[in-house]
Chains A and B, each alone.
Chain A
């Protein structure tokens, strides 16, 4: 190829395009870029695995300041009094306004805290609760079979009997579900303890869980198939 620019001086031709300082600059920039993306990825990873992302422990605004600690923990009202279909149906069900009024037509009727409930009954308009535990739409979860096979309320919903305002107790991610579906024994309890508002596994849970799994016919074979939860 002939010389492109005959005007170009010889001195310019001999001068290097990049000086040594450019090398340093490049190294710093590369390291900086790596650090930037690395830090970014770390932050995102940490965020994605944090309870903040999974909303664990985060209370939601509700129309009524309802306390599970008071009703379930202190008064000892059974879970099934309000969540009546938890043993028979996929959905545990939310109490109707009239369920609240079984007691509250008699007690604390004039407290401001209860006014939304009274108003709901008076106007025949349902209360609109904000969901705390929500699964994606492509997940088909059934409460009744979990309760029947020895999985207690607090295993998934946290120490509900200690919550003044309700928050999500567990991340409810697919990995979290599968941990139990692969090895349910650590979470199984006897029939009498299913609806306990607070529960800590006893010291011999490993042996007891295995025994319960056999007794309740908990087969793990179908539990990890995709179509068990997704169809």
Chain B
């Protein structure tokens, strides 16, 4: 357990009770007296006149209320997430999942939710730059026209194009057009993150049919292009319906604790080398032989149960490993699926969607760097990628880049690569450009803009076609040309086109699933290495991934799942490693790989493999922008091209210094209380209790009675709900220092608890919004009635009445109230205000706030229903967290409606109230975490 409170042993954070320096008591009173007098004077005049500015010519659609959803797609590592983007008065303000999209199914992840903030990032690149100096696009166009003529004469010799792998057919068409124009040119692709294809095929899994799931170091519930679909399918086997559940069983073997690992019924922490040994043993056990490998007691028990489960439940079992990590694990999983008959049942193959394996690609970043070092490249165009930051340190890409005569970078930010390139050109955001994207299952979507480009930017497709054939062509025509294909008939194409834009998914564009081509022969797994060696694992950061989201303040302040760290990355180690090395949270260590070293603070993660150390990518940036610069360490420097995901030659030394890490959760043990209750799927018992009598008068809620149920069996702790809530409710970002003082503002937090032994605990997640207590302890202590009950049982917060005593927060047993200690609003002229929800008040300093059950959505739907003289239907109101959740763990509705799904959920036997013994009668209740353990293991 990480028991240490990072803010220190004292009751209050450092500095919280100190008088500010440079201000004496006398000066303070003088200032306050003057402020009071001036405030009194200021109240004498009326607010200034406001103006109303109507249209000259009204738009063809009514935009007055301004709420219009557009179906589009947003990229996740190049793959499409099908979304509905909400436009308010012409500004995109919120992203929701598109229910009609087969790969997102109406859900979103945290990154997709946060992408709307990136559109309004004040640090986005706004103009083209030559040598860092702003210039007009025409300057670049003239320069390129001259170079274009020279290149044409040489058939493109010396020209290299570097892109990220893409699923966009229009971009791919542009790349191919460029290669057709310059036959001697070379196209390279680079991503610092995972590849999901092998031999032109991708794996696809059916978690609805699988009774037994074995995940080998693959975080398919969070870090996968189809994570939304997989989470939905996985959760469907974890949900009680009328007291019954057909639960699957998840086994996870992994070195570093992941979201997927946290959902495991049986989990074995193991280093990459140890995993090979365990799988060798498992192969023997499945065949009914004795394991040749020597196993520890817990390993033997888990593997024996796993082998029996796999044999008995075959073919409704599935083993999965990521194709990018250890190729041997991937081959083992495929072969085992084939031998158990799962191939074609739960394990399928899809043709590769992303361009990683495109036949015309000349190679990866290493190949490009070698060509640059040889002096073979005189013109380099980099589209979207940021190799100066994301290249493995050993490649020395920045040095090689200096040898290129003409380097051009297209990107959303003037990043590390832009700083080294002769030209930097701004790239449009996906919400302001035309494009197309395909999801992991192959479903294609048209990406349509909701707003004209805010700055002088071009989309990647426009840029690629410009490089091939100047002048610039409009992205709209380029995308239409891609999809027009053989439709000569304009009318039928237009009809199909508008249908695609309306639904957000092109029908029948997904490829058919096929049976994976695998042999049943189990691959030879090389024996384990020296057990004393320390393995360094490189993993994408859970919130900012490879660093492309570095400058997104929502994601920086989003507590990282499991560790709850914010604004930083840490080297994760196991409790036993920490004990052996005398390390505590925040101690700096030097990690050395192949002669390169970085200093990183450690974070003790229960359940981490003891001989491994996890470094996360994405931090240590120098040109990310004002949010992302100078945070954390840069793990790319230790990466090698041959071993992107783990390196077994690492050395660690304690530095004797500390770097205070900031975590929003300071205690991860439940201390014997049943905050998260656990139910055994095989032996369900009822948690129902009689409501104890109360001293307060009972109130009958005759009209609507809103309530919520959160299913902890389905919740994976992915934190998409937290960002969705932030986007919907104008929740400010407070920064690292304020979070360290416990002043984070999230209305919804996801608590994590570790139960059991620290080396391999059970991990429990619990989203905690305001419980909307019927006997609300906050209400009775407010001296100004700023928090009161509504007629529908909501615990209303009235910002204008609040005088900031914070009594309510002190009296709240759930600690869900958030106080504006400072004015956390962005500067007046900041572009981020354009994102804000006009239906929610932006709170000022000195005001308490908390989850409202998205009361603005309740009001809007109630008004819509009242206009039709009917009651609000079940499912019509969905809170922001509910709408985002890929696991459908959150359900909201009217408790007075016997048909409502929330009533059905609350009738399940595992329904319980958090701290119910306090008799606060919370409207939000939980369904217990469901585990399906085999007791013998």
Interface size class of chain A, counting residues whose CB lies under 8 Å from the partner chain: 35 or more
Q: Which residues from 97 to 149 on chain A have a C-beta closer than 8 Å to any C-beta of chain B?
A: 97-99, 120-121, 124-131, 134, 137-138, 140, 142, 144-145, 148-149
Using CB atoms, name the residue of chain B closest to A148.
B867
Using CB atoms, name the residue of chain A closest to B798.
A226
Interchain CB contact under 8 A, A97 and B796: no
**Contact A231 B703, CB 8 Å, known A91-B65, A126-B56, A222-B791:** no
Interchain CB contact under 8 A, A97 and B852: no
Q: Is A85 an interface residue (CB 8 A)?
A: yes
Interchain CB contact under 8 A, A230 and B55: no
Q: Is A42 an interface residue (CB 8 A)?
A: no
Q: Is A59 an interface residue (CB 8 A)?
A: no
Point out which of B51, B54, B788, B790 has the most chain A C-beta atoms below 10 A from its C-beta. B54
Interchain CB contact under 8 A, B56 and A121: yes
5 closest A-B pairs by CB: A225-B790, A94-B54, A89-B65, A96-B55, A131-B50
From B51, B56, B839, B867, contact of A145 by CB (8 A): B867
Give chain A residues whose Cβ lies under 8 Å from the Cβ of B841.
137-138, 230-231
CA distance A231 to B53 in the complex (A): 25
11 contacts across the A-B interface (CB closer than 8 A):
A88-B62, A91-B65, A96-B54, A97-B54, A126-B53, A138-B799, A221-B791, A225-B791, A227-B852, A228-B790, A231-B855
Give chain B residues whose Cβ lies under 8 Å from the Cβ of A230.
796, 798-800, 841
Interchain CB contact under 8 A, A231 and B856: yes
Using CB atoms, name the residue of chain A closest to B867.
A148
Interchain CB contact under 8 A, A225 and B796: yes
From B53, B56, B796, B799, contact of A98 by CB (8 A): B56
Interchain CB contact under 8 A, A145 and B866: yes
Interchain CB contact under 8 A, B56 and A97: yes
CA distance A230 to B841 in the complex (A): 8
Interchain CB contact under 8 A, B54 and A221: no
From A55, A137, A224, contact of B791 by CB (8 A): A224
Interchain CB contact under 8 A, A96 and B791: no
The prevalent SS among residues of A at the interface is loop
Give chain B residues whose Cβ lies under 8 Å from the Cβ of A219.
703
CA distance A30 to B926 in the complex (A): 65
CA distance A231 to B800 in the complex (A): 11
Q: Is A90 an interface residue (CB 8 A)?
A: yes
Give chain B residues whose Cβ lies under 8 Å from the Cβ of A121.
56
Q: Is A19 an interface residue (CB 8 A)?
A: no
As a 0/1 sequence over residues 196 to 231 of chain A, the CB contacts with chain B under 8 angstroms (1 = contact) are: 000000000000000000001101011011111011
**Contact A93 B54, CB 8 Å, known A60-B49, A130-B49, A222-B791:** yes
CA distance A9 to B53 in the complex (A): 83
**Contact A129 B862, CB 8 Å, known A222-B790, A222-B791, A225-B790:** no
Q: Is B737 an interface residue (CB 8 A)?
A: no
From A94, A98, A225, A231, contact of B792 by CB (8 A): A225
CA distance A222 to B791 in the complex (A): 5
Using CB atoms, name the residue of chain B closest to A128.
B51
Q: Is A34 an interface residue (CB 8 A)?
A: no
Q: Is A40 an interface residue (CB 8 A)?
A: no
Using CB atoms, name the residue of chain A closest to B790.
A225
Q: Beyond the given A129-B52, A227-B859, could you list 18 further A-B residue pairs with CB under 8 A, ordered by the A residue number? A: A89-B62, A96-B56, A96-B57, A98-B57, A120-B56, A124-B57, A127-B54, A129-B51, A134-B47, A222-B791, A225-B794, A226-B788, A226-B790, A227-B852, A230-B796, A230-B800, A231-B839, A231-B856
Give chain B residues whose Cβ lies under 8 Å from the Cβ of A38.
none
Give chain B residues whose Cβ lies under 8 Å from the Cβ of A90.
65
Interchain CB contact under 8 A, B52 and A85: no
